Amino acid sequence: MDLVFIAQDCINGVLMGLIYGLVALGLTLIFGVLKVINFAHGSFLMVGMYVAYWAVTLSGLHPYLALVIIVPAMFLFGYWIQNLLIRPIFIAEKNVREPITVIIVTTGLWYVLDNLALLVFGPDYRALAPNPLKGQMLEFGEIFISVPKLYGAIATLATAGGLYLFLQRTRLGRAVRATSLDREAASLMGIGQWKIFNIAFGIGTAVAGISGAVLTPFYNVYPTVGIPFDIKSFVIVVLGGLGSIWGALVGGVIVGLIESVGPNFMASTWTEGIVYALFLLVLFVKPSGLFGQKQDW
Amino acid sequence: MALLDIENVNVAYGDVQVLFDLNISVHEGEVVSIIGGNGAGKSTMLKTISALMQSSSGSIMFDGKPMHNLPPEEVVNHGLVHVPEGRRLFSLMSVRDNLLAGAHNKKAYAVREKTLEEVYTMFPRLEERQDQAAMTLSGGEQQMVAIGRGLMACPKLLMLDEPSLGLAPILIAEIFRTIRAIADKGLTVMLVEQDVKHSLSLSDRGYVLEHGRAAMEGAANDLLDSPYIREAYLGI
Ligand SMILES: Nc1ncnc2c1ncn2[C@@H]1O[C@H](COP(=O)(O)OP(=O)(O)OP(=O)(O)O)[C@@H](O)[C@H]1O
Ligand SMILES: [Mg+2]
C-alpha cells in the first residue's frame, strides 16, 4: 500500500469531515440553546442548498459571494419557523424542559419540507451552474486537493470561529449562553427566552445555509439530499458533545477520516459500521461526548 | 404611593392555591423583610412579582405601573430585579460574564463598566476570580455573584430570596452586612429570609407570611420584640 494514497485520503477525510462538522454545527447550536434535537436539520440543509443553487443560478454570483443573500434568507427562515411553529409548543408545555412534542413537530417539518421540495423542484439532481469551482484541483506532487472542499473547510473554520467570538464577546452572545444554561434565571436578568430561541434557531439555520453554499459546488441538489447529512450530524454531535462548537468539528473530522481512510483496510460498507459502533461506544462510555460539558442540561 | 404595591394577589400551582389575597407594599428607600417558614409561599410571591408566575387575580404595581401583565424580561426593564433562591448562576460562564449578563437591559448595559467597578469594589474577591467559571466558586462567593448580577441590572428595588441559604454563620453575617451597605447607598430592598433575627435587625419593616397569607406586619423592631415572633420564629 502506498503512503501517498493514505495521505491523500487523510486530506480528503479532514476536508470533508470539517464540512460535515459545519452541517452539525447548526444542529449542535440549536440543541445547545433549546435542548431539543431538530430533526428537520437535514431538511434545513436541503433548503440551504436550494437557496444557494437558485441564488447562484439567478444572480450568476460566485457561490461564496451569494452568502450575502443565503445567510440572511436562511436566518429569517429559521427565526420564523421557531417563532411560529416551535415556540407555541414550548409555551403549551412550559413545565416540560425537553418537550417530546417539539421533536415530533420537527420530524413533521422534515417530511413537509422534503416533499415540498419534491413538489416544487421535482426529483431532478441539479448541478450548480455557473460553477466557478467545478472540478478544480490543487496539485502538490502526487497529492491532489479539491478546491471546493478546501474552501468549504476554510468556511467551516471561519464560521466556527465567528460563532465562538459571537458567543463569547457580544452582549447577545452572552445572552444566548445564559439562556442555554438557565432560561428562567436569564429571564430574570431581562433576557427574553423566546427572542433568544428565535435567534438561536435563526443562526443554526443560517449555518445550514452556509453549508448549502459550501456543498453545492461539488454536490448535487435534490429533495432528499439532507438525509445522509442529517444522520451523520447526529452521530457527529454525539461524538463531539451536544452543544459544543469545537466538538462538532472534531466529531466531523473523525467521521470524515473513518469514511475516507477506512476503505483502504476493509470493505467500505464496514466503515459505516465503525462510525455507528463509535457512536454507541461514546454513548456508553462518555455520554456527554468528547467535548461536552458534564452538567444538567 | 408606595414603590411596590401588591394588592389582593392570589396565586396557585394548578389546583393548589399558595398565596391568598396577599397585600404587601414597599416604599422607596425601605428595607422590608418577608419572613416565614418552609413552604409559606415566600418564593412564590417573588416569582409572581417578577412575572415568572402568573397570579390568578390581584394587581402588582411598581412605580405606578402595572407589572402583572408583563413577561419577566420586561419587568426587569422597570428596575424590579429578583435574585432567585439558590443563586441560579450561569454555571459554565465566568464570574465576569455572569455579572455582565445581569446588565442585559439597555439602560444597565450603557453603564455596565461603571456598575461592574462598583460591584468589584463591594466584593473584591469577585474581581480576583473574574475569569473563573461560576460553578467553581464557594457558596459564599456564588451568593456574591448572584447579588452582584442583580445589581448589574441597575435595580430600583432589589428582591433577594434567601441569600443566607446554605452559608456558614460567618458568611451569613458578611452577606447581611453587605445587604445593609447596599441599602445604605439608597437602594430599596425586599429581603425574603428564614434567618429572622438577622433579616429583621437590618430591616425597616417586615411581614410574616404563613400559609400564603400575611399573618403580621409592622416595624422590624416591633416584630423582633413581639412575643409571637420570639416564640414561633426565634425560639426564645
Ligand atoms: N412548582 C411547584 N408546583 C407545585 N407546588 C409548588 C411548586 N413550587 C412550590 N410549590 C408549593 O407552594 C408552596 C409555597 O412554596 P414556596 O417555594 O413559595 O415556599 P417558600 O416560602 O419559598 O419556602 P422555602 O423557605 O422552603 O423556600 C409550598 O407548599 C410548595 O410545596
Ligand atoms: Mg423559597
The residue with greater pLDDT, A105 or A242, is A105
Measured distance CA(B187)–CA(A52) in Å, rounded: 55
Q: State yes or no: pLDDT of A212 exceeds 90.
A: yes
Question: CB of B36 closer than 6 A to ligand 1?
Answer: yes
CA of B47 to the centre of ligand 2 (A): 10
Closest ligand to residue B193's CA: 1
B-chain residues near A178 (CB < 8 A): 90, 93, 101, 104
Could you list which residues have their CB under 5 Å from ion ligand 2?
Answer: B 43, 85
Quickly state the pLDDT bin for A1 (edges 50, 70, 90): low
Measured distance CA(A104)–CA(B232) in Å, rounded: 53
In sequence order, what are the residues at sequence separation of 6 or more whose Cβ sits closer than 8 angstroms to the Cβ of residue A231?
A: A42
B-chain residues near A177 (CB < 8 A): 90, 92-93, 97, 101
> Measured between alpha carbons, how far is residue A231 from residues A272, B63, B80 in Å?
11, 54, 46
B-chain residues near A181 (CB < 8 A): 90-93
Mutation target for B interface from A33, A170, A176, A189: give the one with most B CBs within 10 A: A189
Q: What residue segments make up the domains of chain B, in order of their start?
A: 11-79+156-236, 90-153
Q: What is the mean pLDDT of chain A?
A: 91
In the block, residue with C-alpha cell 408583563: B70
Q: Which amino acid is at B112?
A: R
User: Which pLDDT value is given to residue A297?
Assistant: 41
pTM given for the model: 0.93
Query: A191 touching B, CB under 8 A?
Result: yes
Quickly state the pLDDT bin for A292 (edges 50, 70, 90): confident
Task: Write the secondary structure of chain B as one string of H (helix), E (strand) and C (coil).
Answer: CCCEEEEEEEEEECCEEEEEEEEEEECCCCEEEEECCCCCCHHHHHHHHCCCCCCCEEEEEECCEECCCCCHHHHHHCCEEEECCCCCCCCCCEHHHHHHHHCCCHHHHHCHHHHHHHHHHHCHHHHHCCCCEHHHCCHHHHHHHHHHHHHHCCCCEEEEECCCCCCCHHHHHHHHHHHHHHHHCCCEEEEEECCHHHHHHCCCEEEEEECCEEEEEEEHHHHHHCHHHHHHCCCC
Question: CB of B164 closer than 6 A to ligand 1?
Answer: no
Measured distance CA(B95)–CA(B155) in Å, rounded: 20
Question: CB of B89 closer than 6 A to ligand 1?
Answer: no
Measured distance CA(B27)–CA(B189) in Å, rounded: 10
Query: A178 touching B, CB under 8 A?
Result: yes
Q: State yes or no: pLDDT of A272 exceeds 90.
A: no
Count A/B contacts: CB-CB distance under 8 Å: 73
Q: Whose CA is nearest to atom 5 of ligand 1?
A: B13
For residue A174, the chain B residue with the least C-alpha distance is B101
CA of B141 to the centre of ligand 1 (A): 26
Question: CB of B212 closer than 6 A to ligand 1?
Answer: no
**Residue of B10, B13, B52, B165 best suited for mutating to test ligand 1, as the one with most atoms within 8 Å of CB:** B13
CA of B85 to the centre of ligand 2 (A): 6
Q: State yes or no: pLDDT of A23 exceeds 60.
A: yes
For the domain with range B11-79+156-236, which CATH number is right: 1.10.3720.10, 3.40.50.300, 3.20.20.80, 2.60.120.650? 3.40.50.300
B-chain residues near A191 (CB < 8 A): 73, 101, 104
Quickly state the pLDDT bin for A17 (edges 50, 70, 90): very high
Beta-strand runs (E) in chain A: 137-140, 143-146
Quickly state the pLDDT bin for A93 (edges 50, 70, 90): confident
Question: CB of B38 closer than 6 A to ligand 1?
Answer: yes
Q: State yes or no: pLDDT of A51 exceeds 80.
A: yes
User: Which pLDDT value is given to residue A295?
Assistant: 52
Helix (H, G, I), strand (E, B) or coil at A206: helix
Beta bridge partners of A51: none
Domains along chain A? 3-285 (1.10.3470)
> Measured between alpha carbons, how far is residue B226 from residues A203, A261, B37, B196 in Å?
59, 81, 17, 12
Measured distance CA(A234)–CA(A227) in Å, rounded: 11
Q: Whose CA is nearest to atom 22 of ligand 1?
A: B43
ipTM over 0.90: yes
Q: Which amino acid is at A172?
A: L
Per-residue pLDDT of chain B (236 residues; tens, 9 = 90+): 799 999 999 999 989 999 999 999 999 999 999 999 899 999 999 999 999 999 999 999 999 999 999 999 999 999 999 999 999 999 999 999 999 999 999 999 999 999 999 999 999 999 999 999 999 999 999 999 999 999 999 999 999 999 999 899 899 999 999 999 999 999 999 999 999 999 999 999 999 999 999 999 999 999 999 988 888 888 77
Question: CB of B190 closer than 6 A to ligand 1?
Answer: no
Instruction: Return the half-sphere exposure (C-beta side, CA atoms, 13 A cut-off) of residue A21.
Output: 34
Q: State yes or no: pLDDT of A296 exceeds 60.
A: no
Q: What is the mean pLDDT of residues A84-88?
A: 91
- Name the grid cell of A248: 462538532
